[in-house]
Amino acid sequence: MKGLFKKENVKKLIAQASAGAAAATLFFVQPVMASSGVDSVTQPLTNLKTLVISIIGAVGVIILAKNVMEFAQAYQQQDSSSMNSAIKGIVAGLIMAAISSVLAFLGIS
């Protein structure tokens, strides 16, 4: 047992283990079964992007309708502060409702 951990034996053991590891990595290579295109990888991300943009557009339509009603009430009551707030909400709703068109115009979507 004492002769096993001599300097010469340890060097020989490390050299043999390294040669065995190198041979295993070179000769036991597994083939990769990857698909030919990248569409299978990017398709879920495209679907998620479409879903998020659709949700933003739908929420934008709801915000737009709510703020149009608020603007009508503020106009009827002659409340300039509420009219200003409602106009800001209308602009925000328009931007959100038209987000897909804006992104298409910018070339993102």
Residue whose structure tokens are 């479409």: 50
pLDDT in tens, 1-45: 556 666 677 788 888 888 888 888 888 877 777 666 777 778 888
pLDDT in tens, 17-28: 888 888 888 888
Q: Would residue 6 count as lying in a domain?
A: no
For residues 101 and 60, is the Cβ–Cβ distance under 8 A? no
Q: Does pTM top 0.75 for this prediction? A: no
Domain hosting residue 92, numbered range: 42-109
Q: Would residue 12 count as lying in a domain?
A: no
CA–CA separation, 97 vs 75, rounded Å? 24
For residues 64 and 56, is the Cβ–Cβ distance under 8 A? no
Residue whose structure tokens are 């036991």: 28
Number of independent structural domains in the chain: 1
Q: Would residue 73 count as lying in a domain?
A: yes
Residue bearing the bigger pLDDT, 1 or 108: 108
